[in-house]
Structure 1
């Protein structure tokens, strides 16, 4: 049950996120649907490639595609007055998608009997892969590559599931809510990872 619910939640959240970014970039209707679908399923496709699962397995998720299309259509038909507030709650959708898909990716790797390293990679790629593809297609710098804390929460999720700390449906839902909250807090308070810049060196040269 947890697997199915998290898949649905993640699909809706990332489909909405992709559609909104497409509208921000003034893409046409086809572009809105394309970016929404790519964002919703891109992470799963990348994960499958790296852990040896045929990408064609994605085409078996007919219900998820219908859910994604419905979510994209709903967002496209939203009143303009509501969409203009996207910047206030858009990152919340992204946090939901990250949390749900990171857990789903980790569970997928566990079912395949993969080691902890592969479970963490599956969590990160499933949780952030769709967002990376979305940002690249929209010519934006991917969040996961910035100094902002983003994929770290997917790593933590993978470790928690990989070591069997969260197994039951209830514990997985708690993990989902906790990861979402942590991602939102890290965005609101601008938590950052350490980083270095070469700007000063370039000026000195």
Structure 2
């Protein structure tokens, strides 16, 4: 049930995130649907490729597909004023999706018996994969390639799950909240990873 809960939370959060980005870029309703779906399911597809799960397993997730479509439909039909206000919450939806899918990906890989390194990679790719595809399709620089801290929180969640430090539902939900909070704090206080720019002389 905990795994399913994170699946649903992540799907809704990333579907809404993709829909909001599509509307910011003035895409039509088909663009909203496409961007929302790739954001919600792109990370899981990449994870499945990495850990040996058949890619066509996505078609067995009918409930999640319907959930994503309903979430995007609600966002698309909201009044303009509400949508403009909702855009301010884009980073929160992104943080929720990142956290939920990172934990879900880690649990998936861990239950399959993969080593710690695979659990961490599965958490990272599940958490950031959909967002990368979304940003590329929207013509934006992917968040994970900026110097702000993003993928690190997904990797940290995967490490904690992989080490067995979060097994019980309460521990997992606490980890979920912790990743969301750390992601928001890193945005608020502009925490950055070390970077170096090479510019032509």
TM norm structure 2: 0.98
Matched residue, 2:138: 138
Matched residue, 2:111: 111
Matched residue, 2:4: 4
Matched residue, 1:16: 16
Measured in 2, the distance between the counterparts of 1:134 and 1:38 equals 7
Q: Which runs of 5+ in 2 are unaligned?
A: none
Measured in 2, the distance between the counterparts of 1:33 and 1:9 equals 18
Shift of 1:51: 1.2
Matched residue, 1:36: 36
Deviation by residue 1:116-145 (Cα, 9 ceiling, x = unmatched): 000000000000000000001001010111
Matched residue, 2:67: 67
Shift of 1:85: 2.4
List aligned pairs for 1:1-205, cutoff 5 A.
1-199=1-199, 202=200, 205=201
> Please, what is the CA RMSD of the aligned residues?
0.7
TM norm structure 1: 0.96
Aligned structure 1 segments of 4 or more residues deviating by more than 6 angstroms:
none
Q: Which runs of 5+ in 1 are unaligned?
A: none
Confirm or deny: 8 A CA contact 2:105 2:127 kept in the other structure: yes
Deviation by residue 1:22-67 (Cα, 9 ceiling, x = unmatched): 0111111111011101100000000101111110011100000010
Confirm or deny: 8 A CA contact 2:123 2:157 kept in the other structure: yes
Q: Please state whether the residue corresponding to 2:27 is helix, strand or coil.
A: coil
Shift of 1:87: 4.1
Measured in 2, the distance between the counterparts of 1:86 and 1:143 equals 19
Confirm or deny: 8 A CA contact 2:20 2:87 kept in the other structure: no
Measured in 2, the distance between the counterparts of 1:89 and 1:60 equals 31
Measured in 2, the distance between the counterparts of 1:170 and 1:103 equals 13
Shift of 1:83: 1.2
